[in-house]
Structure 1
């Protein structure tokens, strides 16, 4: 090698070493191939503006993952963000499961194969409208535990699981420092929402969590969302819909401005209408965040998917963020997908200028501003913002620009408008549900009536009403409460108070009434006039949870189920009660081929509450997604070939008189060409003859 070339190489190495030392001195995280400074994440030495999309691996199927990731990439997404779901991976203490939809390693490798990065939000508390916030219910039974606080029993379990996940990622070389796609991790989740409730044990827990995460040496930065005082090298991030306005900014000049959750719609509970957020509004707020020197925006969700089985949190519908750019079925929702794709392209066309130039803000009017990034006479980019609800014309560098109401124009060269957030060029499309199989004939159905237990047939016993969460331990949504008493008159008044979520009362084996709470008002009281017989009477309550709570301080203290019972004013709360966790049909697993043979099915006749229904069907031809139209049903759960596709609650209508959710996704990978087993458990008196099997298309 020539002497001159050796000198150049030597200088380059000294320059790199000096840069690394300077970054460390300024407080930038050292993460191998990923670092950061006050402007952005730095990947392989290059500053990056990154667009990210949340896609959660258990809310879809492995067969769907490649298509979802590819469509995200086509939409201009650079990073896929996912939570890690503790209660899925460790359903029993010390017993781990990373199979099927739980295969987070396979999911990340699929992302890597398509050339995208990963943000891994380990939590391990995640909220996410996921039952118990992602925490396994067995934590509840650990003596002295207080979730998410400076509490040794909880910290031990949290550190153990977090270390398990980090080591799993390392074993597959998935961190960027190992050549993998993971560029950012998250510890905890929106802790500021509950921190004050824990007093001095809140801030100390935050410091411990940050120290624990950094001490795992992943080689990539860590973040905390909604945690303005994220300690040390951990990046504080914003969640919400308007982080360009609401984010206080990084808590250090050496940390970048990042947005971990830009809600593309909002979660939906049973009884509520869907939240519709326009593509224009999302684009406006993203453009504003970038204009104010933001460098990472994650769409929550980019694909919401499906809360299969009993994974949804309290009162959450099975469809999750269906209004995202990719709908529940993984199909492109226009114009949201296309408008954001165009936004990403416009910003990326001037990203080098945005990341290297000095930003200045110019007033263009009373509610109009220009955010200008100028590096030289030839290198300039600008965002022209109009906050008014009317169109205005503003001068910028002596050129007039028309700005639509509530919009931002992006000028990659400070002259030409490449994109305006209010002008949508992507076509609007409509989703169509196409019925292909009907189940109208009574001959297509068989039924099995769930037994209604009485006090004599239920064990264990207790002198008082037990908490449903700690008794059922998430093995079932259902808990039977039974008691018996002697009465002398025929007509009486029953009052029952419950803290979650649904209650069916049976008097001497006959349904006497039902009641339920709501997402915003969980406790409720059921009051009914009932008929009793002289002598011994049996009252049985079936209490049903619709997911477990997912948020709030002291989650381990939250309870559900029956709390107080009175008959004609007589208090039976501390009476002797019998209990039964779950249903007989669940115990026998009659939703499977093998289990369904264990009971005597009958022909469809009169409709009764607490009834199992069974039929078979052939898979529709083609590759279009498949959904069950359960518009004729009430409330329950549905299985296809032994796999639960979720809870339904069609009878809980919105203020407009429509179900919050009518169609329920059946992933194609669950289906066989013919002879698919369909089982429903119906709590009410829904009619299965109104069900149809539909395919899903957009046009």
Structure 2
């Protein structure tokens, strides 16, 4: 029955309509939509898309990841553009450094014949800090003190339009009107989730303005938005959900008089990206995911997007508050760049089966076949056959929407058993089942070889000197020096405590607040001092006279801290002045929520806050600030900068009491490949460490945090049948949410040059337990 299928590769069977962009590449084309499908120059197409984010992939891996994603059977990639990553200062854009060359990334997609959905937002969520917005767009500066985000507000609308215009100008050579792969653009994102936070009239007016603005910036572009049905017909509303079939038939087409095609920008698979440190990892069974896709396509979808096809890594400091550095633990393609045995082959089989039947699916035009109730208990059939050519391709969908009952049905002269919460795809001529969402016999696992690499030639450490306001000089001497982070510091000392990001200008997770307090006779007699203050950051370290007192870790948005500080060993007298130093460390801003402009992090920066030192409110003391760590400013993580630092063997530290705030340097030679026909893939196992920053040969691999998920005993069974949500199927209870931290093989040195794994650790730790986990494929895909 598969005769006539175009053989695109040894393992991919698709129809000629698989890559519709190839018919138009480098020739201007227009994009339109009807009820059933999108059209390129009036040619109907079915878009199967997968999300992949350029900023979460090392540039040397861009092409290989695009090619592997394409191998699943998609013909389009969906990607966000991240405002804060490109407009690094107001009016200053960066389109080239680090992973920012989005033009190059899209050119690579173009070379593979893939369409591109460009999701501008510019609010995107995507578990990116502040939803992708620049942190200077908040009410903590004089210029933006009256800004309101994502509503009718002149300041916000001006900035939103300016960035949207900048993106369109930068990428317009790659738009459809110029023969490029960008055939669709998105303005705003999931606005229906937060519209309730604004007066109804304002929400409607804002989204109408957003639509009008987008079309004024690019009048020939096909614009969509997401999760906001009350939009004018110029802008196509799309859906984000686990299941979109009923939305399409019962909501979307009804709302828009059967004129807008059904587009899904996110159908979430695996653990879609919003996993937080300290939680068990979510897993969506592939049988449920493929059921939802088959149902949606059968019901009449024009475009479906898998979120995420490949998640990648939250390098640097980009990720939203408390989210893991791995962006998705369980997508079809794993973070290290190989197929996921949980999903890959079963999903690829589905997408390529749909690709084969595209001519049948589109042959009916907007005259969609009815949903026929085969049973009274949830089984429906949908038959696509050309009304004018009985010899043409046809396809039948049988969908069992009952989440408990397996059902056997008769269709014409054949009987079919449809498992609960599953779907069959049946060839219309042979009546053979060509895909069964509940049957995983096609999900052949890939064989892997793994090893633990522990052959570090040296493990050394150096204390972080910022707590002493000192830096190293001539390897073993010190001099006082101001950090270059302070070149544009808004404040040097104040009589009110400052909000973290307004002070650091988003240059570091770390901000040190220092003040001095004169002790009373009562303080000296008591020997214990109570310190109470609000904490709106993830880590707080408290020092008296530069001696560490205590540390606190917290992932809530805000807690009230009350701690007892011991001054017994400080040899203080009445009226002595004591230095209080507070080091606050954030994990950036929330990526999702309402009234973003009010989001603040740090310690006591709200008008009514107090900092109580043994009953005395010292918030009006003079406070001095140090942005970041000396090691960040001086780039201890850069092999070119750290050679002359006084590194000490780790044995020196381990023989004494371990202390907070240390930099570690682990040197090693690049190991040979495990498997002769497969490249090594690398992850650092951070066993023995707690929380900090991670670098490979000067390249930031992001934050690490090794806290455990809670225990759950017994772990409930995971049943794919029935509506899914992230609380339903979780794994790795009682284990660290993330212990493995990926880095690209392209970061490693060749020709016998040492590699340097540099770590900044906030607490006492045991770096001798760290190892590099190496994985290689023994079977090809």
- Displacement of 1:651 in angstroms is 3.5
**Residues 1:361 and 2:440 aligned together:** no
TM-score under structure 2 length normalisation: 0.81
**1:163 alignment partner, one of 147, 162, 165:** 165
**Residues 1:332 and 2:339 aligned together:** yes
Q: Would the aligned equivalents of 1:40 and 1:49 in 2 still touch at CA under 8 Å? A: yes
Can you list the C-alpha shifts for 1:53-93, whole angstroms capped at 9, x where unaligned?
Answer: 11111110222111111112221011011111111111112
2:133 corresponding residue in structure 1: 135
Can you list the C-alpha shifts for 1:422-449, whole angstroms capped at 9, x where unaligned?
Answer: 112121347665212344x8x5323233
Can you list the C-alpha shifts for 1:598-656, whole angstroms capped at 9, x where unaligned?
Answer: 64333321421111112322222232221211111110001122211100011455443
**Residues 1:507 and 2:544 aligned together:** yes
* 242-251 vs 119-128, greater mean Cα deviation: 242-251
1:695 corresponding residue in structure 2: 774
- Displacement of 1:40 in angstroms is 1.1
**1:58 alignment partner, one of 55, 60, 81:** 55
2:717 corresponding residue in structure 1: none
Distance 1:431 1:630 in 2: 21
Can you list the C-alpha shifts for 1:581-607, whole angstroms capped at 9, x where unaligned?
Answer: 211222222211343246433332142
SS in 2 for 1:596: coil
1:107 corresponding residue in structure 2: 105
Distance 1:297 1:549 in 2: 28
- Displacement of 1:195 in angstroms is 2.2
Distance 2:664 2:533 in 1: 30
Can you list the C-alpha shifts for 1:133-162, whole angstroms capped at 9, x where unaligned?
Answer: 111223334333222222222222221221
**2:438 alignment partner, one of 391, 416, 422:** 422
**Residues 1:492 and 2:503 aligned together:** no
Can you list the C-alpha shifts for 1:437-475, whole angstroms capped at 9, x where unaligned?
Answer: 344x8x532323333258999982222322112222211
SS in 2 for 1:445: strand
1:227 corresponding residue in structure 2: 228
1:517 corresponding residue in structure 2: 554
2:252 corresponding residue in structure 1: 249
Distance 1:684 1:333 in 2: 34
1:463 corresponding residue in structure 2: 495
- Displacement of 1:697 in angstroms is 3.1
**1:646 alignment partner, one of 697, 702, 711:** 702
1:4 corresponding residue in structure 2: none
1:667 corresponding residue in structure 2: 744
1:193 corresponding residue in structure 2: 193
- Displacement of 1:295 in angstroms is 1.7
In structure 2, the CA distance between the partners of 1:388 and 1:201, relative to structure 1 (3 Å rule), is closer
1:384 corresponding residue in structure 2: 398
- Displacement of 1:328 in angstroms is 0.8
2:4 corresponding residue in structure 1: none
Pairwise CA RMSD: 2.3
1:586 corresponding residue in structure 2: 632
- Displacement of 1:687 in angstroms is 1.2
1:619 corresponding residue in structure 2: 670
2:89 corresponding residue in structure 1: 92
- Displacement of 1:355 in angstroms is 2.2
Distance 2:326 2:630 in 1: 28
Matches within 5 A, 1:216-615: 216-217=217-218, 219-246=220-247, 248-250=251-253, 251-252=255-256, 253-265=258-270, 266=272, 267-357=274-364, 358-365=368-375, 366-376=377-387, 378=391, 380-386=394-400, 387-413=402-428, 415-424=431-440, 425-429=442-446, 433-439=450-456, 443-453=458-468, 460-485=492-517, 486=519, 487-488=523-524, 489-518=526-555, 521-532=556-567, 533-534=572-573, 535-563=576-604, 564-597=610-643, 599-604=645-650, 605=653, 606=656, 607-615=658-666
Distance 1:566 1:428 in 2: 59
Distance 1:110 1:367 in 2: 44
SS in 1 for 2:170: helix
Distance 1:162 1:598 in 2: 46
Distance 1:192 1:258 in 2: 16
**2:689 alignment partner, one of 633, 643, 651:** 633
In structure 2, the CA distance between the partners of 1:492 and 1:297, relative to structure 1 (3 Å rule), is same
SS in 2 for 1:139: coil
TM-score under structure 1 length normalisation: 0.90
Distance 1:351 1:666 in 2: 39
Q: Would the aligned equivalents of 2:280 and 2:734 in 1 still touch at CA under 8 Å? A: no
Distance 2:86 2:131 in 1: 14
Distance 2:77 2:269 in 1: 15
Q: Would the aligned equivalents of 2:29 and 2:40 in 1 still touch at CA under 8 Å? A: no
SS in 2 for 1:307: coil
In structure 2, the CA distance between the partners of 1:338 and 1:127, relative to structure 1 (3 Å rule), is same
- Displacement of 1:509 in angstroms is 2.4
**Residues 1:47 and 2:62 aligned together:** no
Q: Would the aligned equivalents of 1:431 and 1:696 in 2 still touch at CA under 8 Å? A: yes
- Displacement of 1:671 in angstroms is 1.9
**1:38 alignment partner, one of 35, 38, 41:** 35
- Displacement of 1:39 in angstroms is 1.0
Q: Would the aligned equivalents of 2:496 and 2:622 in 1 still touch at CA under 8 Å? A: yes
In structure 2, the CA distance between the partners of 1:163 and 1:272, relative to structure 1 (3 Å rule), is same
Can you list the C-alpha shifts for 1:97-148, whole angstroms capped at 9, x where unaligned?
Answer: 1224111111111011111111111111111111121112233343332222
Q: Would the aligned equivalents of 1:85 and 1:124 in 2 still touch at CA under 8 Å? A: yes
**Residues 1:182 and 2:214 aligned together:** no
Distance 1:107 1:658 in 2: 36
Distance 2:111 2:558 in 1: 48
Q: Would the aligned equivalents of 1:118 and 1:183 in 2 still touch at CA under 8 Å? A: yes
Distance 2:619 2:450 in 1: 48
Distance 1:322 1:697 in 2: 18
Instruction: Number of aligned residue pairs: give it.
Output: 663
- Displacement of 1:273 in angstroms is 1.4
Distance 1:299 1:432 in 2: 28
- Displacement of 1:686 in angstroms is 1.6
Gaps of 5+ in 2: 1-27, 471-479, 483-490, 605-609, 674-678, 712-732
Q: Would the aligned equivalents of 2:280 and 2:709 in 1 still touch at CA under 8 Å? A: no
Gaps of 5+ in 1: 1-30
Distance 1:653 1:284 in 2: 30
1:148 corresponding residue in structure 2: 150
In structure 2, the CA distance between the partners of 1:159 and 1:364, relative to structure 1 (3 Å rule), is same
- Displacement of 1:572 in angstroms is 3.0
Distance 1:682 1:652 in 2: 17
Q: Would the aligned equivalents of 2:152 and 2:206 in 1 still touch at CA under 8 Å? A: yes
1:72 corresponding residue in structure 2: 69
- Give the 4+ runs in structure 1 shifted more than 6 A: 454-459
2:477 corresponding residue in structure 1: none
Q: Would the aligned equivalents of 2:278 and 2:710 in 1 still touch at CA under 8 Å? A: yes
Can you list the C-alpha shifts for 1:233-259, whole angstroms capped at 9, x where unaligned?
Answer: 111001021222455324422110110
- Displacement of 1:47 in angstroms is 1.2
Q: Would the aligned equivalents of 1:335 and 1:429 in 2 still touch at CA under 8 Å? A: no
Q: Would the aligned equivalents of 1:346 and 1:412 in 2 still touch at CA under 8 Å? A: no
Q: Would the aligned equivalents of 2:211 and 2:235 in 1 still touch at CA under 8 Å? A: yes
Distance 1:186 1:105 in 2: 17
In structure 2, the CA distance between the partners of 1:640 and 1:416, relative to structure 1 (3 Å rule), is same
Distance 2:690 2:316 in 1: 17
Distance 1:246 1:523 in 2: 37
Q: Would the aligned equivalents of 2:537 and 2:602 in 1 still touch at CA under 8 Å? A: yes
* 232-241 vs 341-350, greater mean Cα deviation: 341-350
